[in-house]
Structure 1
Amino acid sequence: MFLPALSIQAHHWKKRRALAMGIVLTGSSFGGIIHPIMHNQLFHGKTGFPWGVRASAFLILGLLVIANCLMTTRLPPRQGPKPNFGAIFRDVPYMIASLAVFFVLWGLYFPYFYLQLFVDLHGLSRTLAFYTLAIMNAASVFGRTIPNLLADHFGKFNIFVPICFMTGVLIWAMFGIANTAGVIVFSILYGFASGAFVSLVPPTMATLAPDITQIGIYMGVGFFLTSFANLTGTPISGALLGDNTHATWFKPIIFSGVTILVGTVAMVICRAMVVKRRGTQFV
């Protein structure tokens, strides 16, 4: 449902396409706020784990039914020859963009999975540790709308590149977290930056499609290629971290920070190629 919900937006919007996609993606941010709190209350309350999971499933099912009823396409199904995958894989800027997104995603979700453990093992409040995920997702609501609004006015790549850089720099800031205030500030800033990255990927990839009828296939191939980063990034970070008694935080922090900054460099190269191809800095 994730990719079709975004691809459909490309059919209905042109001038405000990035903002529309960002608004759609805020749904996952709200889910990231609601589900952890809901699960904590249900699992540790009278409801218990089994019915807590079922309650979550029923909520998702109801929302899925509503989404299926609301989504409509504007354009008829594509007619003519099948997509030319060879041409897609020979599109150098597109492949570099996919590589850039891959590297950023490789390290992007490390704080989402391990910041709670980081706070707990550093002797800070366990209550704060639990709410760090909700704080990051709350901040990502703004990250998934404000940068996308700017992207519609100043160009997708022109906003995307600084966001990638900001995300990479913030990972290194984990070395300086030593108190409650630091955790909260980091959670807000990283939630905003990472949310902006996630919401800018679809419209940026969509701009590389040669025409509107191919946006879906270009986004689909891109998400397929980068999905392996989502699959492997967090386990790699966990393996580098080690067990709770001998956690070596500098290893996954360096891994995540380096991969995101490598992805940023690749995105800068991609932007330069797109600028040369189109003959304008508004990209």
Structure 2
Amino acid sequence: MSSASSEKSAPQDAQQRQHADQEAAKPAPPAAFDPPDGGRAAWQTVAAGWLCQFCSFGFINALGTFQLVYETDILKTTSSSAISWILTMQLFLMFFLSQPVGMIVDMFGPRAILMPTSILAVVGLVALSFAKEYWQIFLAQSLCFGLGAAGIFVPGLVTASQYFKRKRAFAVGIVASGSSVGGVVFPVFLAQLFDQIGFRATIRWTALMVGVLLAIANVLVVPPIKPKGWAGRRTLLSVAVFKQPAYVLFVGGSFFFFWGLFGPFNYLPLFAEQAKSTYAVASYTVSILNAASIFGRILPPLYSDRVGHFSVITVCAFVAGLSVLVVWLPINTHHSLGGLIVFALVFGFFSGAFVSLITPCLLQVAGGHTADLGAMLGTYFAVAAIASLTGLPIQGAITGSGDNLTGLIVFSGVAMVVGSAGLVGAMGVLRKKRNAAN
């Protein structure tokens, strides 16, 4: 009896041992990534992200210089609104394609998309140097460079963000400042060389500089999280995030802010030229604006790490919009170079802070999760893309062929102030949720 019982239990024991061996052989689930908040790889990736921002958003931040040279020289028979489509399409593609680009970063890492789009951006600039007609400029600058910028803009921003937790806003601010520095360098660089060697040669030198810097960025970027591969696939539009009231209010407010944001960037040089400033001074106004933006992208985010990201971004958005109505609007009728510079400094500082605080605020809405940051940013910027695409052409249509920019200025300022109200709503929802949890 005892022997028979042992014979029956033996196969069961063998099966149990086999099952235990199989369980032991299974790979352990990946440990949650704990951001190191520093280290060589982290700051190396911040540098790569800075270069990416410099070469993508930084170059596009010089759109006011292109608006001026196109309206006064190369495309002087083309309407202001039509020219603005060349520039706004770059913004649209860069923002709208952030979602699929973010998904590729999550799936395959930053280099998978950064390398080919770096090549595409340089090809677009080279093609622009040969363009003569409106449609040729549109294809080269708007589509080819715009598509390249979309793949350059997101990878460095996302990857650098994943390395930090406590210092995230500060790190993102440093990365985002690359676009402001680009907005300082490119207008001066372009304006000087346009006069000395002409449009075509200037763009070719620009292509060379951008190509070298992007090559360095591709070498420096190091992903902190192992790519998910095809397992990271998902739908391109994350509908679930729109079920969160705070996210809806934040995105809605940002839509209105982006609707008015690029008016000063695009039309300030033209405004200065109409105010009888020299061509050099007119071109440098956007550089002054972007110089102030450098400090805005670093100092307020550093402060927000202590007092709250939403508190700071809301104040900055409101002040940026208010400066358009309180400072720029009066000097539209009483021209003052000093007043123009004051406006460029104030608007540049506070609008720059808004842009650099987007990522920390989105992470706050999401509860601090970083794994799907690429998709989260992409969904946000897809909405911002629609505002960017339509804002400048609307402002150009308001201006028409006349020299009076009053309607444009009012539209820009009111849109940004309305946008700040949405941010107040999002902050209130998050505060209520936090109080309920406590």
TM-score, normalised on structure 2? Answer: 0.61
The aligned residue for residue 225 of structure 2 is 75
2:426 equivalent in structure 1: 270
Residues 83 and 157 (structure 1), Cα distance of their counterparts in 2 relative to 1, 3 Å cut: farther
CA distance in 1, matches of 2:349, 2:239: 36
Q: Does 1:26 align with 2:193?
A: no
Deviation, structure 1 residue 227: 1.0
Structure 2 counterpart of 1:53, which letter? I
- Is the CA contact 1:101–1:201 (under 8 Å) kept in the aligned structure 2? no
- Letter in structure 2 aligned against 1:184: I
1:120 maps to 273
Task: Give the superposition deviation at 1:40.
Answer: 1.7
Deviation at 1:36, TM superposition (A): 1.3
Contact 2:191 2:280 in 1 (8 A): no
The residue aligned with 1:100 is: 253
Q: CA deviation at 1:17?
A: 0.5
For 1:188, the equivalent position in structure 2 comes to: 345
1:118-165 superposed Cα distances (whole Å, 9 cap, x missing partner): 122233444322210111111111011001101111111010100011
2:215 pairs with one of 59, 65, 85: 65
What letter is aligned with 2:395? S
Question: 2-side partners of 1:2 and 1:81: how far apart?
Answer: 20
- Does 2:329 correspond to 1:175? yes
SS in 2 for 1:12: coil
Q: Distance in 2 between matches of 1:10 and 1:126?
A: 39
**What is the letter of the counterpart of residue 51 of structure 1?**
A
How many Å apart are 1:108 and its aligned residue?
0.7
Determine helix, strand or coil for the equivalent of 1:145. helix
Output the CA distance in 2 between the equivalents of 1:252 and 1:181.
21
Amino acid corresponding to residue 189 of structure 1 in structure 2:
V
Deviation at 1:82, TM superposition (A): 4.9
- C-alpha distance in structure 1 between counterparts of 2:239 and 2:319, whole Å: 34
Structure 1 residue runs without a partner (length 5+): none
* Counterpart contact for 2:329–2:410, Cα < 8 Å: no
* Aligned-partner Cα distance in 2 for 1:112–1:174: 12
Q: State the Cα deviation string for residues 58-86 of structure 1 (Å, max 9, x = none).
A: 11111111111111111122486755723
| TM-score (normalised: structure 1) | 0.92
Q: Secondary structure at the match of 2:162?
A: helix
Match of 2:203 in 1: 53
8 Å CA contact 2:324–2:343 kept in 1: the answer is no
Distance 1:3 1:77 in 2: 15
Distance 1:128 1:91, change over 3 A: same
Separation in 2, partners of 1:109, 1:17: 26
**Match in the other structure for 1:163:** 316
Identity of aligned residues (%): 36
Report SS of the residue matched to 1:72.
Answer: coil
Question: Aligned match of 1:221 in 359, 379, 382?
Answer: 379
Letter in 2 for 1:64: L
User: Equivalent of 1:16, from 163, 167, 192?
Assistant: 167
CA-CA distance at 1:207 after TM superposition: 2.1
Find the counterpart in structure 1 of residue 119 from structure 2. Answer: none
Contact in 2 for aligned 1:240/1:248 (Cα 8 Å)? no
Residue identity opposite 2:253 in structure 1: A
Distance 2:366 2:159 in 1: 15
Cα shift at 1:89: 2.5
Give the number of the structure whose alpha-carbon radius of gyration is greater: 2
Q: Does 1:207 align with 2:360?
A: no
Mapped to 1, the partners of 2:232 and 2:182 lie a distance apart of 39
| Equivalent position amino acid for 1:73 in 2 | P
Root mean square deviation of aligned Cα: 1.7
Offset at residue 236 of structure 1 (A): 1.0
Paired with 2:239 and 2:370, the residues of 1 have a C-alpha distance of 19
CA separation of 1:131 and 1:73: change in aligned 2, threshold 3 A: same
Kindly indicate whether the alpha-carbon contact (under 8 Å) linking 2:257 and 2:417 is maintained by their aligned counterparts in 1: yes
Q: Which amino acid aligns with 2:430?
A: V
Q: Distance in 2 between matches of 1:127 and 1:73?
A: 42
For 1:241 and 1:21, the matched residues in 2 are separated by 36
Given residue 215 of structure 1, which amino acid in structure 2 is its aligned partner?
A: L
| 2:187 aligned to which of 36, 39, 45 | 36
- Taking the aligned partners of 1:275 and 1:71, their CA distance within structure 2 comes to 36
Q: CA offsets, 1:212-271, max 9 Å, x none? A: 21222111111111111111111111111121xx23322111111111111111110011
Deviations 1:23-81 (A, max 9, x none): 01111111111111111222221x32222111101111111111111111111224867
Q: Which runs of 4+ in 1 moved over 2 A?
A: 77-86, 122-128
